[in-house]
Amino acid sequence: MGRQSKHLYINLPVKHVKESRVFFEQLGFDFQPQFTNDQAACLVIDDTITVMLLSLKHFQSISEKQLVDAKQASEVIISMRVDSREEVDELVEQAIAAGGSPFKEKQDHDFMYGWSFQDLDGHLWEVFYMDEERSDLS
């Protein structure tokens, strides 16, 4: 009996929920309205992955640890696989146009291609395409 797939919720603290929502809408993402308000926005990545963009106050009420300023330090890198090299470039270019900033130079490793950006709060997002047929990982 195999494991049933789970729904993954990633919680990220953001300074301004509304501005963060607008940023990700400009990248083409949708939000679940029933889980979105002034304190939180539920960013839909796919059917089983969502990112909860939580106000600093709301995030702090869940986590009793000190918050990390993502513009100064890293705690997590969110990596997202897309369907083509062109989609990598398109998504990062949209992020930069929407007010984000590039993080690293494009990485081209033959079968794997990626680029990354920082969102409005400095969280790192890595976007990559991998040609599994050409990879030696199997």
Domain membership of residue 24 as a residue range: 1-62
Residue type, 76: V
How many domains is the chain built from?
2
pTM of the model: 0.85
Last residue of a domain, one of 12, 36, 62: 62
Pair 54, 84 in one domain: no
Rounded Cα distance between 108 and 98, Å, is 24
- Are 58 and 1 in the same domain? yes
Strand order in the sheet with 8-14: 8-14, 49-55, 40-46, 30-31
Q: How far is CA 70 from CA 14, 36, 130, in A?
A: 9, 22, 27
The pLDDT tens digits along the chain (138 residues) read 566 668 889 999 999 999 999 999 999 999 999 999 999 999 999 999 999 999 999 999 998 888 989 999 988 899 999 999 999 999 999 999 999 999 999 999 888 999 999 999 999 999 999 987 766 654
**Which phi and psi angles does 7 have, rounded to 5°?**
-95, 125
Q: Considering the domain boundaries, does residue 68 fall inside one?
A: no
In a shared domain, residues 56 and 10: yes
